[in-house]
Structure 1
Amino acid sequence: MYDSLCFTDFGVAAWISKLYGIFISKITSLLFFLVQLGPIPRHLAIIMDGNRRWAKQRGLAPSEGHPWGSKTLTNALQWCYDSGIRQLTLFAFSIENYKRPEEERQRLFELAKEKLTEMLDSRDIIQRYRVKVKLVGDLSLLPEDLQRLMHSVMKETAENEGPRLNICFSYTARDEICTALVHMLNDILERKLSFKDIDASLLDEYIARGQGLSKECLAPDIILRTSGEARLSDFLLWQSSYSLLYFSDRMWPDFGLWDFLQLLFWYQRHWREYQQLRQRQEHCQRHKEGV
């Protein structure tokens, strides 16, 4: 009789859990439907900040926050693609992060390997949504096995026609700009380019070429930074001249669906202002080119 009662209780609990899951799924679908009635950013960039502080607040080693941040990333990818965002750029690992303790760096590299390996799985969200993945940064600074895995993911997803995912790894904006200027200077010395050709649009091209991207991949509509910090920390400095900036007080491991929806609603409230800025930028560029 006791065993039967336990079985019944277990069955009721499982039924309630399943019903709750269906309810949450329906509510989530409704929320995404409502948010899609307004403008959705084409390109969202994220500075995933706060993993280490999140861990310290819970008495854990700083490196223990990164696996929890990785789980948030999996959810965020799903939210972005379900809401209609066509391009996502993530600041995953800064060149400045090489100054961190060896143990933490290795933990980050191992997590990167795990996520990249998942991307090659046919059941993963990357394959399900046919996402094209691009690793951006000075990859030569990374361990060779991680470099090989990154190139495998880029090759495997190169023909995908779904959303784009740009992962900035071993990256800083200053390094990106300096590299583009060096390539530009080399072309001047080789007489492939003259000084009179140099303008902002040309630097766009050199930055894009250096990262193996098209110019359309450069400028995000909105940049999100979590953890309460209100700065860009050497991320997309050249590309963000007209981007909207959104700073969330949430640590990245705690960033949830409602936080994401708040971001989209905030973008919609500022969308008209953003469009006006973009139009002025395009007008100035056409005027300068004499079009």
Structure 2
Amino acid sequence: MEFLYKVVRFLIKCMFCVVSVGPIPSHIAFIMDGNRRFAKQRNMKVGAGHEAGYFALMSMLIHCSELGVKYVTAYAFSIDNFKRRTEEVECLVDLMTEKFESWCREDSIVNMFGIRVHFSGNLQLLSEPLRDAAKKLTAATVGNSRVFLTLCVAYTSTNEIVRAVEKSCEEKWAEDQESSVINLSDIEKRMYMVIAPDPDIIIRTSGENRLSNFLLWQSAGSCLVSTSAMWPEISFWHLIWAVLNFQRYQSLLKKKL
């Protein structure tokens, strides 16, 4: 088993060397779809698919860190997800609370790999324990700088855009200026996602091709990649394929210019 692990690690390092010849994306975003279907197909209990999805996220974070990707964003919980069955929502909220609290430890994977965690979304919609765990995790990882992980929780892109416009209007009115024109920069600097550059790649699992109200403002120039694998099934090879597609996309853009 140890020998097999060493062989796999060697192959991964070889692939990293090959991929590193081309441009490496600075920001990869994930739409983590298919956790429920993964559990249902295997007759697993409620929440087991999301538990498996958590380990898939850890795997992707490690691979992105090793590849040199600076920013990673994950669509963890949509505002629309509150409409799901109470049992499922509570299970997912409890899982997130547990994992966020465990990440605060010095020996956690996020600290081992220098991952700084930030949250985007309307956190006021969350339960107090989950909101407190998110704030604690943000503070606990503020000194990390190798990878910047943004978890979109209680998030939708339309909510983000409306909030940014409202904030821009409120601040313009408060300034009591003669010109109250709202421009593009006013809105963009009040977005939840202002802390990261626009994503180079957006990867969605489970075979869906929709953005599902995720980073609509920021995805105009993104390379969109869909895979039939459900989120708990995502692997290193799916990531490599996405990066190779991005590099091909970049090459085609340069030829057009």
- Fold shared per TM-score above 0.5: yes
Q: Which residue of 1 aligns with 2:224?
A: 245
Are the aligned partners of 1:53 and 1:62 in contact in 2 as well (CA < 8 Å)?
A: no
Question: SS of 2:47's equivalent?
Answer: helix
- Report % sequence identity: 33
Are the aligned partners of 1:187 and 1:193 in contact in 2 as well (CA < 8 Å)?
A: no
Q: Which residue of 1 aligns with 2:238?
A: 259
Residues of 2 paired with 1:153 and 1:129: CA distance?
A: 15
1:30 maps to 2:14? yes
Q: Which residue of 2 aligns with 1:93?
A: 77
Q: Which residue of 2 aligns with 1:13?
A: none
Q: Which residue of 1 aligns with 2:207?
A: 228
Q: Find 1:131's aligned residue among 102, 115, 127.
A: 115
Residues of 1 paired with 2:44 and 2:107: CA distance?
A: 32
Question: SS of 2:73's equivalent?
Answer: strand
Please show how residues 104-183 of structure 1 align to structure 2 within 5 Å. Answer: 104-183=88-167
Residues of 1 paired with 2:7 and 2:35: CA distance?
A: 30
Query: Which one has a larger percent helix, Structure 1 or Structure 2?
Result: 1
Change (3 A) 1:271 1:197: same
Residues of 1 paired with 2:14 and 2:102: CA distance?
A: 29
Change (3 A) 1:194 1:132: farther
Are the aligned partners of 2:172 and 2:180 in contact in 1 as well (CA < 8 Å)?
A: no
TM-fit CA distance, 1:213: 4.1
Are the aligned partners of 1:136 and 1:168 in contact in 2 as well (CA < 8 Å)?
A: yes
1:45 maps to 2:24? no
Q: Find 2:61's aligned residue among 77, 88, 93.
A: 77
Structure 1 stretches (4+) deviating beyond 6 angstroms?
none
Structure 1 length-normalised TM: 0.82
TM-fit CA distance, 1:21: 1.6
Number of matched pairs: 257
Question: SS of 2:175's equivalent?
Answer: coil
Residues of 1 paired with 2:125 and 2:178: CA distance?
A: 32
Are the aligned partners of 1:244 and 1:274 in contact in 2 as well (CA < 8 Å)?
A: no
Residues of 1 paired with 2:223 and 2:71: CA distance?
A: 15
Residues of 1 paired with 2:178 and 2:250: CA distance?
A: 39
Structure with greater contact order relative to length (CA < 8 Å, sep ≥ 6) = 2
Residues of 2 paired with 1:178 and 1:149: CA distance?
A: 26
Residues of 1 paired with 2:62 and 2:159: CA distance?
A: 31
TM-fit CA distance, 1:202: 2.2
Please show how residues 181-220 of structure 1 align to structure 2 within 5 Å. Answer: 181-191=165-175, 197-207=181-191, 211=192, 213-214=194-195, 217-220=196-199
Change (3 A) 1:98 1:195: farther
Residues of 2 paired with 1:134 and 1:274: CA distance?
A: 32
Two-structure CA RMSD over aligned residues (Å)? 2.0
TM-fit CA distance, 1:159: 2.5
Query: Which ranges of structure 2 fall in alignment gaps of 5 or more residues?
Result: none
Residues of 2 paired with 1:242 and 1:152: CA distance?
A: 34
Are the aligned partners of 1:137 and 1:168 in contact in 2 as well (CA < 8 Å)?
A: yes
TM-fit CA distance, 1:129: 2.3
TM-fit CA distance, 1:23: 1.4
Residues of 2 paired with 1:24 and 1:200: CA distance?
A: 47
Are the aligned partners of 1:131 and 1:165 in contact in 2 as well (CA < 8 Å)?
A: yes
Residues of 1 paired with 2:53 and 2:75: CA distance?
A: 13
